[in-house]
Amino acid sequence: MAQTNTTLQRIGMKHGAGGRSMRLLIEQVLVDRTSPIANVMDDGAAIPLGDEWLILTTDSHVIHPLVFPGGDIGRLAVAGTVNDLAMMGATEPLGLTCGLILEEGFPLDDLKTIRSSMERTCTEAGAPIVSGDTKVMGRGEVDGLVLNTTGVGIARRVVRDSGLKPGDLLIVTGTLGDHGIAVMAARHQLDLGGALQSDVAPLNSLIRAALLAGGDGITAMKDPTRGGAASALHEMAEKSGVGIQLDERALPVRDEVRAAAELLGLDPLMIANEGKALLGVHPDAADIVLRAVRAHPLGRDAAVIGVCSGELRGSVVLDTGFGRRLLTEPDGELLPRIC
Amino acid sequence: MAQTNTTLQRIGMKHGAGGRSMRLLIEQVLVDRTSPIANVMDDGAAIPLGDEWLILTTDSHVIHPLVFPGGDIGRLAVAGTVNDLAMMGATEPLGLTCGLILEEGFPLDDLKTIRSSMERTCTEAGAPIVSGDTKVMGRGEVDGLVLNTTGVGIARRVVRDSGLKPGDLLIVTGTLGDHGIAVMAARHQLDLGGALQSDVAPLNSLIRAALLAGGDGITAMKDPTRGGAASALHEMAEKSGVGIQLDERALPVRDEVRAAAELLGLDPLMIANEGKALLGVHPDAADIVLRAVRAHPLGRDAAVIGVCSGELRGSVVLDTGFGRRLLTEPDGELLPRIC
């Protein structure tokens, strides 16, 4: 196993927030490339199955509050898992599992609300929950409810977040920052007249349309959840070995989100999304993919936001229109329990 | 959805302990047979895939203490998921996912210990962990560590816990009560000179040997985890529509376990096992299956413990040698966080 920093002896909040600290923790403590648990750091796994691939992905949800403007933990869990499958090319989930961990005293009515929400989201995504497990912990041993969902699907072609090539364009399927800002505003009881809503939604039908239009021209996909677009783009740049140049003026961000983010001292690029995807697209396929994405109800605000190059590999450069600066990778501790 | 008991408004510890209350909660609140999340109550799911079956199963682990005589939460999680797959006929896992939920301040050394234990158990079972997710909750928001594992495997024939037929014999693959008693003894700092050890182990190679020997003669399988053998047998009897008659004198229970159980006021039949299986076997196949199981290091204490009939369907009757009595289904609240 890799040596860990000798001063680090305990887990901190930043290790669970999807940023750099978390990546280092996973790389240093949880991953040994020679062991049977080598791939713990990948969101999803692809297992060969005949001439197709079995895609397997897992996610635990600890969001606070459990219900937030635009969604709740149930919708978040189902959509999150459906989206992780879709990002690897499995747009028709075979099945999801649901692991519930409840605190003693949890209100049954809340459980029913969350269950109904999961049900609606499953219907929307065409993704059945096929198996479940329920555990109860004592009062004070878990805060309300933790929800794990794991999904399995089949992909004819596996799309990875490491497939970017110099020259590829980057498309985002819609506005950035909506989920995280809606949750943070709810926590701070910031009332902007209902204008802030999480974007949480299953993206598999949108991704299916994009793949149908773009085929092999779609070279990489990733959903910018924890750590936001900045974290996702850093990971894509690093894994793909390309530099990414972003056009700040092209980034779609709602005015309300921009305003609330300023009020809260946050950068929309660093904030979690739960209903958006970043697509790497060969320049020849960019137009047709953008058209297909925009034709979908969840993709109306899609935009080309950047381009990949062979320079500054592993880095993300933000072109502000006035100049260029390196976009830092968020360390993520600012936003605990955001998903 | 079915009507719930109008007096029940909050989750209690008993709802997570694997007994009757939990089954009712799941049936009443979580399951609607017409919905896309219809099958939340099954440990595992079987999804048709060509002429085979994809088996999918999930389990969350909240055990306290995290390390106990004979095992730890890491071994428990891997073995538990491998065993759930095996019970449905998938004895060669394709992959496992691992969802970690950590409390801020969790010692890194403990995480490494658990990680190593998972690794060893994965090697033992031939089951790779292919994907993972890590979340951190604040201090006091989760007690130490919660671990979800989900597994996927292929079965040529799906074995269910509902397949018992009148005349079938019941085989248990070894002694009962070891896991639960070891954990409870550790919690109560009951020192019996190291005699109490959890049986936690991956059973897939044992089950593979049994299936190879018994073929279709194995009609049902279930691992007696939460709620112990009593809960598992009740579920098998009810789902299969048979009565089960148990021979109390044939039940293998270690003397130390029997003694400790008496001291703690517990019944070994009601206590969780994590390395045992209950097999329903056609009488013609019983000898060959019993021989195959006993030839495996984890099956040396295997025994025929009962027989199925068409009488008292859904019930489990215990023949004590002096008389017969109905075995009650445990309500499970006695043993929180046992797995």
Contacts of B117 (CB under 8 A, 6+ apart): B71, B72, B74, B75
User: Which chain A residues contact residue B30 at CB under 8 A?
Assistant: 100, 111, 115, 132, 134
Please name the member of A57, A130, A136 whose beta carbon is closest to the beta carbon of B11.
A136
Ranking A12-21, A90-99, B103-112 by mean pLDDT, the lowest is: A12-21
Q: Are residues A219 and A281 in the same domain?
A: yes
Residue A36 counted as domain residue: no
Question: Residues A268, A194: one domain?
Answer: yes
The answer to the question of residue A203 being in a domain is yes
Among A97, A126, A155, identify where a domain stops.
A155
**pLDDT-based confidence at residue A279 (cuts at 50, 70, 90):** very high
Residue B86 domain-assigned (yes or no): yes
pLDDT score of B18 more than 50: yes
Could you tell me if residue A37 is inside a domain? no
Question: What pLDDT is recorded for position A336?
Answer: 79
The answer to whether position B205 is within a domain reads yes
pLDDT at B330: 78
Same domain, A128 and A203: no
Number of domains, chain B: 2
Q: How confident is the model at residue B179 (pLDDT cuts 50, 70, 90)?
A: very high
Same domain, B55 and B101: yes
CATH code where residue A261 lies: 3.90.650.10
pLDDT at A277: 98
Residues A129 and A179 in one domain: no
Query: Which residues in B lie closer than 8 A to residue A337 (C-beta atoms)?
Result: 135, 137-138, 141
Instruction: Output the pLDDT for position A26.
Output: 64
Q: What is the pLDDT of residue A339?
A: 86
Residues A177 and A287 in one domain: yes
* Local confidence band at B2 (pLDDT 50, 70, 90 cut-offs): very low
Q: Tell me what pLDDT residue A18 has.
A: 63
Give yes or no for residue B86 having a pLDDT over 90. Answer: yes
Q: Is residue B12 part of a domain?
A: no
3-class secondary structure, A320: coil
- Greater pLDDT, B30 or A52: A52
Q: Which residue in B4, B7, B11, B331 has the most chain A C-beta atoms within 10 A of its own C-beta, making it the best mutation to test that interface?
A: B11
Q: Does residue B269 sit in the same domain as residue B211? A: yes
pLDDT at residue B6 is higher than 50: no
CB contact under 8 A, A58 and B99: yes
- Whether B337 maps to a domain, the answer reads no
pLDDT higher than threshold 90 for residue A330 = no
- Of A307, A16, A113, the residue nearest B132 (C-alpha): A16
Tens digits of per-residue pLDDT, B224-273?
A: 998 999 999 999 999 999 999 999 999 999 999 999 999 888 899 999 99
In this structure, how many other beta carbons lie within 10 angstroms of the beta carbon of residue A316?
A: 25
pLDDT of residue B3: 41
- Predicted complex ipTM: 0.87
> pLDDT tens, A137-154?
999 999 999 999 999 999
* pLDDT level of residue A195 (50, 70, 90 thresholds): confident
Within 10 angstroms of residue A302's Cβ, the number of other Cβ atoms is 26
For B208, other C-beta atoms within 10 Å of its C-beta total 16
Q: How confident is the model at residue B1 (pLDDT cuts 50, 70, 90)?
A: very low
Return the closest-CA partner of residue A100 out of A130, A55, A134.
A134
Among candidate residues B274, B253, B272, B270, the one with its CA nearest the CA of residue B328: B270
B163: in domain: no
Domain at B124, CATH number: 3.30.1330.10
- Please report the pLDDT score of residue A21 as a whole number: 73
Mean pLDDT of all residues belonging to chain A: 90
| pLDDT for A219 | 98
Which of residues A195 and A317 earns the better pLDDT score?
A: A317
Same domain membership, residue B310 and residue B184: yes
Residues in chain B with CB shorter than 8 Å from the CB of A56 are 94-95, 97, 130-131, 150, 152
How many whole angstroms separate alpha carbon B284 and alpha carbon B287? Answer: 7
Claim to verify: residue A221 and residue A281 sit in the same structural domain: yes
Q: Which domain holds residue B274?
A: 169-326
Task: Average the pLDDT over A77-94 and give the result.
Answer: 97
Contact A327, A246 (CB under 8 A): yes
